[in-house]
Every structure is written in C-alpha cells, then in structure tokens.
Chain A
C-alpha cells in the first residue's frame, strides 16, 4: 500500500543522505521525495511516498524516528490530509490534435506554459490520482517528456 510520510528534521548537511541511505540500506523503496526549508530556521520538511505492508511501514517510521537529526515523523495515510504534486508534461500537439489537448487542459484546470509548432508543455498540479489520470489521457497523443516534483502533503485543519 502507498503511504505518505511527513518528516520534520534538522536542516544540516547530510540529513538527506541519512534518510535516503536508511531506505537503500534496509531495502525499502522511496517512490517520491521532496524536501524544503520550513518557516522555522534550521528545520526542513520532507515528504516521502513509499510502499509496503504494515510491518514494513512500521519499521520505516521507527527507523526514521531513530535518526538523531529527525524531529518528527507522521504517516499521513488514512488521516485527513491534502496532497499535491506538480508535473510538467511535454506532449505532441500537431495540427488537428491541439484543440482536444487544450480541452483536456481546461477540464483538468492545468496551464500551458510553453508552446511550439508541434508540441505543448503543460503544468499540472494535483493529487496522485489526478496526475496519473492526465498522464493516461495524454498518452495517446505521444508524451515527449515528463518531470514531476513528487508529492508534498499536509494535514487538514481540524474542522
């Protein structure tokens, strides 16, 4: 099962390598990883998506908590949370196909960020499902390139 882990950690050199090394050294898999500073000086936030059964996820979380530079680890899976990922996708858009692609862009509330004679580069923001859905839809036009940020996620406010 796919899990989203939200990790707060000290912003020190080598922290990313400690986390990534923990995953590789123990045979766990990182699907996506995103890291950036928080508002608090010296603290970074990392979002990792990974897959595994309950026992593996429990081990991953415990091992992460064991790292001296990790302050907090939360598994957002199954909690009320907001998840977003950004993707840039370059797709074939020859004459005759362009209108349909733009319609999809419109429906998905994406944005065209670059245009050429026979291709469009589209920016999409959304959760995992939305990103996968648009890739599926655009596949038949011919996808030339894709780049994704990996998920970022946050707990919803308690309402």
Chain B
C-alpha cells in the first residue's frame, strides 16, 4: 500500500490507539490536515499551540495514555516549548508532531523555519527529524514506545513538508528494538529482601510517594503496603491521589507547603521508602538536614534520579509497580506465620498527635471569603469524585492542601516546571479523556489570563470545564514572598486591571458567576457545577491570604512558618 507521509502519520496514530489529538494547523502540516477527515481521529483545534500541548499533557495525565499534539513549523513549534518542558519535568508521555520546511530548505533560514529538534533537545526524552520517507513509520513507532516506556516523557518528531507529501509503501513495525534503550523494570531480588528486612526492623517507617507511583499505576500495591504494614504515607505534589486523601495513614503533602505532620514525620522517621519521587528541592528543604535519622530507600525507574540530590542507603532501580508487587510477594508469606511484622504503635500515636494538634488550618474572618474555604467547598460538593487541574501559585497549593484526592490521576498540576497557564488547557485535555466527569480548574486571576483564549476551544467543543478563579488581585505567591522576605515591596505583583470574568465568559459563549459573599460560595458552586456548559466562577477571596505552613527556601523542613 503506497501512502504519503501525511497518511502514514495518520494511519500510524490510529494503530497506536490514538483517538484524540490537539493541534493547530499551518502551512507545513496542511497535508496532514488535508487527509485528517478520512481517519477515525478527533482533532481538537486549540487557540494557541501552548494550549494544544498542555491539553495533550492533561489528557495523558488523566487517561494514562500517550497524549498527541500536532503543530506547524517555526512559531507553531516554538509555541509548544513551554508545554514540552512541562511534560518533561513531570515525566508525562506526550508525542509532539511538528511541521518543518521542505528538506532542501532546511538550514536556509526559510520562512517559518526553526531548528525545533535543537531547541527541544534539553526538554524532550528524545526527538527526531524525519529526513527519509522510508524511516517515517518506524520513527513514529519508536516515538510512542519511548514516550510511554521506562520513565515516560515527551518525544518530538519533526516532519518536513516534502516528506509529508512524498509516497512510499506503508509498513508499520510490530515491535521496537533499540540496542541503546532498555529500561529496567524488575527490581533486584536481594534488594527487595533487604527492604523487607528494613521494614521489619523499623520503628518509625514512612512512605514518601511521588508521581512515579501514579505513572506506573502502583497505587493499589502502595495502599496495600501502607495498610498491611501500617506505614504512614506522605506524598509529593505529583503523588497526590496515590492513596485516598482521607485515609488515616495519609499525612498530606510534605515540603515547602507540606503539613506539619508530614514534615516532622520525615525528620523523625528511621526508615523512608521513597517510591517514584525525586527529592525535589521544594520537598527536601535544606538537603543537609533532610531525613537525618532515616535509612533512605529510593525506588526509581530512572537511575539518574537516584543519588542526585540526596545520598540514599538502598538504591533500587525498578518500576514502582514491579517493586511494590515484588515486596508484596515477599511480605505476604510472613503475615501467615509467626514471623509477623511488628506494629509501630508509638510511632502512629506520635503522628496522630501531630495531626490533631497541628492540622492544616486558616483563620476565618467575617464577611471575607477565604480561598481555602472555597477549595473545601469544592471538595464537599464533589466528594472527591472530580478531576481537579490547577494553575500555578497559591491556588495550586491550596488545592493540594485542602482537596482530599481520592483517586490517582484526579490531581493534574504542573509540578516540576510550575507553568502558569497550564491548568485550563490541561482541564480541556482531561475533559476530552473523561467527557462525563466533572473537571474543575482551580485557578488564580494571574494564571488564568495566560491561556484564557482556550475558552473558545472549550465552548466550541461543548466541554463543560469549570474554572474557579480564586481572585485575589495579585500574583499571590510572589506577593507572599515579597511580604515575608522582601520587606513588603509589592513590586509588579498587583494586577490592578483585570477583566470582568463574568462578561469575558459570556463573550466566549460560556457562563459566568461572581461570588463576593462567603455565604454564597457553596450554593453558587453547586449551581455552576450542575451546568452542562463551560463555566467561569470568579470568587473574590481575601487578597492578603498566605499559603501556610511554609518552609522558607533553603531552611530545614521543621523550620516551618505556621499561621
């Protein structure tokens, strides 16, 4: 069967199980768009390429499948770079197809030419420029394989216009063989036994779970381990949802805006099992004082993550699911005999005391809407059944702290890169993945304006995404830092001029609500969430509210500023 490059791409996407892709056409990729209607692929036209890549990323995070993004050459390609870096930092499987000028023009500074392979090299897992039509099918196969296997990540494929127009016999390879790429999934058995032994001896064990648990679908095994061995769990931002937020063993998030309990537990624990987490500086605080009393076990599929930021005692290169499953097989027989694992009664009591005496809290003020209360209302209404995306900043931290994530893949947020403008397009992607679920973007008034143009996308495709803006008139997180560490010099963080978000919603054909009365929060949110349309809820919250607790950058986890 002779097909053009454009047809080969579309045919291959179908074979990879792709049903939705997010994109924006342009001269270099017209051939693909020309053939697109003949394939069973839904294309979502965003209003900006950054929207397309974040939507593909949000789709991937919600669904657990590879997200696909298709854009044109030059500015189309460069507009995706922030989204590619976002996916790279959070290990999200996305394949990005970029158009490129015809091969004879490459390197000639042709119209809309850019070296996107060169530009995206440091922020992709791998990337390709297809220079020969005969390599096209195999390259696409490899791109999907790389994106989803091992430590997942974004893979970019650059497609010159003449390659898309030329023809060859189509053969899609069944398998991929790359001699230089062989991720290690199965853990070393001796190391697993060593970890069991450490668990048996530990008096104050703690699980520190990261995004790897969710990426590898290891949450069930993680919960089994925590429950069976009665080991408390703390999670990174990316790990939220790995066990239910209301589970008594869950201590909440750790780190800069972590709970008092989690940060003290890390500092007091004698054994920490770090599963699929990479010891980000927002988590460790001052590295030299991080978890000083603990034997550190680090499980990660990516060897570069191990020993990068902190020295660990037991490094385990393995998939999280494979490791936890091997651990389960080792522990289960012990439970039947006398060789039972000892309970950690005193440790759990200590944790319970921290949790009850120093819970997350905020001061209520009459007549003022507290942003935390808005998040609590969202949780109360949705009972943890919604998919929550966030923008970046205070809104993100309040969502992480006050919404109790019940399931994995229901908290979708830019962790590693901290990309403002991520949450709304990601919500569009998540809504495409789960059309029947309630998808809510918890936003700030600053962040939402970074990709507000995607309102048109949401309305156009009838996506009932709900945007709840915690509107404080500031770039809140920076304002908070200015207040605490820069002598209240609020330079350039006050957003004096803001759009009327209700009118803005209406201008796009969506529905807008505004809340200024604390008593109206819950009822208005209920009304908004019940609608089957795209909705903005603009909530006027306390402009000077801070995220607490807070560990100042570079301080130890126990040096917390509480409310």
Give A residues with C-beta under 8 Å from B. 9-10, 13-14, 17-18, 21, 25, 55, 58-59, 62-63, 65-71
Contacts and interface: CB of A to CB of B under 8 A. Distances in A.
Interface string B130-174: 000000000000000010000000000000000000000000000
A59 B309 CA distance: 10
A21 B304 contact: no
Given A55-B307, A62-B304, A71 B121 contact: no
A10 B118 CA distance: 17
A156 B125 CA distance: 35
6 contacts: A21-B121, A63-B304, A65-B303, A66-B303, A68-B126, A69-B180
Contacts of B178: 68
Given A10-B180, A55-B307, A58-B307, A68 B122 contact: no
Given A17-B121, A25-B122, A71 B179 contact: yes
A68 B117 contact: no
B307 to A, nearest CB: 6
Given A66-B304, A68-B180, 20 more contacts: A9-B180, A13-B129, A14-B117, A14-B118, A14-B121, A17-B121, A21-B122, A25-B122, A55-B307, A58-B307, A59-B304, A59-B308, A62-B303, A63-B304, A66-B303, A67-B180, A68-B146, A68-B181, A69-B126, A69-B180
Contacts of B118: 14, 17
A2 B352 CA distance: 51
B302 interface: yes
A73 to B, nearest CB: 10
Nearest to B302: A66
A135 B208 CA distance: 54
A66 B181 CA distance: 8
A27 B126 CA distance: 20
Contacts of B126: 68-69
Contacts, number: 37
A107 to B, nearest CB: 45
A53 to B, nearest CB: 12
Interface string B304-317: 10011000000000
Contacts of A66: 302-304
B72 to A, nearest CB: 22
Interface in B75-120: 117-118
Nearest to A10: B180
Interface in B279-325: 302-304, 307-308
User: Closest 7 CB pairs between A and B?
Assistant: A62-B304, A68-B126, A71-B180, A25-B122, A62-B303, A68-B181, A63-B304
Contacts of B146: 68
B410 to A, nearest CB: 30
B307 A68 contact: no
Nearest to A24: B122
A31 B117 CA distance: 26
A93 to B, nearest CB: 44
Interface in B38-88: none
- A9, A18, A21, A62 interface centre (most CB from chain B within 10 Å): A62
Nearest to A65: B303
Nearest to B183: A66
A69 B122 CA distance: 14
Nearest to B146: A68
A87 to B, nearest CB: 32
A55 B315 CA distance: 14
A67 to B, nearest CB: 8
A9 B179 CA distance: 10
Interface string B172-191: 00000011110000000000
Contacts of B129: 13-14
Contacts of B179: 71
A67 B303 CA distance: 12
B393 to A, nearest CB: 26
Contacts of A25: 122
Nearest to A68: B126
A9 B303 CA distance: 19
A65 B121 CA distance: 16
Contacts of A14: 117-118, 121, 129
A67 B146 CA distance: 11
A63 B307 CA distance: 12
A10 B180 CA distance: 8
B345 to A, nearest CB: 39
Nearest to A54: B307
- A17, A18, A25, A68 interface centre (most CB from chain B within 10 Å): A68
A26 to B, nearest CB: 9
Contacts of A65: 303
Nearest to A63: B304
B109 to A, nearest CB: 19
Interface in B319-334: none
A68 B142 CA distance: 11
Contacts of A68: 125-126, 146, 178, 180-181
Contact of B180 (A13, A58, A70): A70
A25 B129 CA distance: 21
A38 B180 CA distance: 16
A66 B305 CA distance: 11
Nearest to B118: A17
A69 B126 CA distance: 9
A41 to B, nearest CB: 13
Nearest to A66: B304
A14 B117 CA distance: 9
Contacts of A9: 180
Contacts of A59: 304, 307-308
